[in-house]
Structure 1
Amino acid sequence: MKASKIAYKPVGFALGAVSGMAARAVFKQTWKMLGHDDDAPGATDEERTWGEVLLATALQGAIFAAIKAAVDRGGATVVRRLTGTWPG
């Protein structure tokens, strides 16, 4: 395993945590903007419909994936600029 890849591991973990927190905040605001309750429904929320649960889950997954990819890609780009090698 390349040294740059090993050195990037802690950075990747930190970026993952940051992207998770950012995704959670973006999803919460998006869910509110769509005119739903403050909290998105969970899979076992008896008060919510199937459609609402599935919509919330799909939206949350899409937002999380997009933000994680953007943060990971940005982090790798910064590492390449600093070290000259791509961490992946």
Structure 2
Amino acid sequence: MRASKIAYKPVGLALGTLSGLIAGAVFNQAWKVIEGEDDAPDATDEDRTWKQILLAAAIQGAIFAVVKASVDRSGALAIRRMTGTWPG
């Protein structure tokens, strides 16, 4: 196994946790702007409409995907700078 791949394992785990925290915070702020509410709806929230639930799910998914890709790419670039090879 290449050194860059081994070096990336713990970095990848830490970045995964970090990206989840960042994405959650970004989504909460986005939801406040979009709907003016502090709490986003859950799929089983009886008092929310289908529109609210599906909109929240779509926005949350998009935010999580973009943040995860950004953080993963940044981590891979950092490992390449440290080891000289891409961790993939």
TM tier, shorter chain? over 0.9
Structure 1 distance, partners of 2:22, 2:54, is: 21
User: After the TM superposition, which residues 1-88 of structure 1 pair with which residues of structure 2 at under 5 Å, given as runs?
Assistant: 1-88=1-88
Q: What is the distance in 2 between the residues matched to 1:51 and 1:8?
A: 40
What CA RMSD, in Å, does the superposition of the two structures yield over aligned residues? 0.9
Helix, strand or coil: the match of 1:34?
helix
Q: Confirm or deny: 8 A CA contact 2:7 2:79 kept in the other structure.
A: no
For 1:71, give the aligned amino acid: V
Deviation, structure 1 residue 2: 2.2
Residue 34 of structure 1 and its aligned partner are, at CA, apart by 1.0
TM-score, normalised with respect to structure 2: 0.95
Give the number of equivalent residue pairs: 88
Q: Which runs of 5+ in 2 are unaligned?
A: none
Deviation of residue 4 (structure 1)? 1.8
Query: Structure 1 length normalisation: TM-score?
Result: 0.95
Distance 2:7 2:65 in 1: 24
**Is there any run of 5+ residues in structure 1 with no aligned partner, and where?**
none
- 1:48 Cα shift? 0.2
**CA deviation after TM superposition for structure 1 residue 46, in Å:** 0.2
- Tell me which amino acid in the other structure corresponds to 1:43: A
Structure 1 vs Structure 2: percent identity of aligned residues?
Answer: 67
